Structure 1
């Protein structure tokens, strides 16, 4: 190999290492949706992820002190009201008498690929608050 072509070859190798594979790993435990898609969580509650604000998750090939997090800007439908919120994968959001959480994010972060916005997949859960009914005496 000529020395003049060495920088080109090294550049091509570096770009190939960061290329996104054709088939990224999907969700394992939930049925996931893409950005812009709507997931109905229960009657009167639905969520649509709009954008990924932050993805600081640890790559799967690395041992990290902190697992990192994903913050997703999402539109939440509560009955007939639309609210835009920032959902943090590390903590549920208390909203409309319940807890809204990011249940799963795909694909995993990797040192082998960059995740483009259209490749993200999400699953959400909503757990209503359970209020104890007053105890009755005998």
Structure 2
């Protein structure tokens, strides 16, 4: 069993990470329609990622996140804060290239 990363600041697809409480794992990119950094676009685009929440009882609960939009998870809000690298018109990103940063704000 692979040990989760200690934080959610640089997580690749298939890596588990401890994010301020929950242990999560990004498993697939559903959408990456971000405007390439070397292009002009009418719409900034978005990124959607399929995730797994590894619960304490061993269950894996799927959920989806969209860049910059808080998602209800457990007793708080889970947010995909950034996606790297930037898209470019002259480079095709592979799944292994992606790195994500996540934040979890627990309930009060």
TM-score, with length taken from structure 2: 0.83
Which of 117, 121, 125 matches 2:103?
Answer: 125
The answer for the alignment partner of 2:40 in structure 1 is 63
Deviations 1:74-103 (A, max 9, x none): 101243342111111141101112111111
Between Structure 1 and Structure 2, which shows a larger proportion of helix residues?
A: 1
Larger Rg: 1
Note the aligned Cα RMSD (angstroms).
Answer: 1.6
Partner of 1:42: helix, strand, or coil? coil
> 1:108 and 1:95 mapped to 2: Cα distance?
27
TM-score, with length taken from structure 1: 0.66
What is the total number of aligned residue pairs between the two structures? Answer: 100
Q: Which runs of 5+ in 2 are unaligned?
A: 1-7
- Distance change >3 Å, CA 63–CA 129, structure 1 → 2: farther
User: Is the 8 Å Cα contact of residues 78 and 96 (structure 1) preserved in structure 2?
Assistant: no
1:88-99 equivalent positions in 2, closer than 5 A: 88-99=66-77
The answer for the alignment partner of 2:14 in structure 1 is 36
Deviates more, 1:65-74 or 1:48-57: 65-74
> 1:35 and 1:122 mapped to 2: Cα distance?
8
Between Structure 1 and Structure 2, which shows a larger proportion of strand residues?
A: 2
1:2-21 equivalent positions in 2, closer than 5 A: none
Which of 44, 63, 84 matches 1:85?
Answer: 63
The answer for the alignment partner of 2:88 in structure 1 is 110
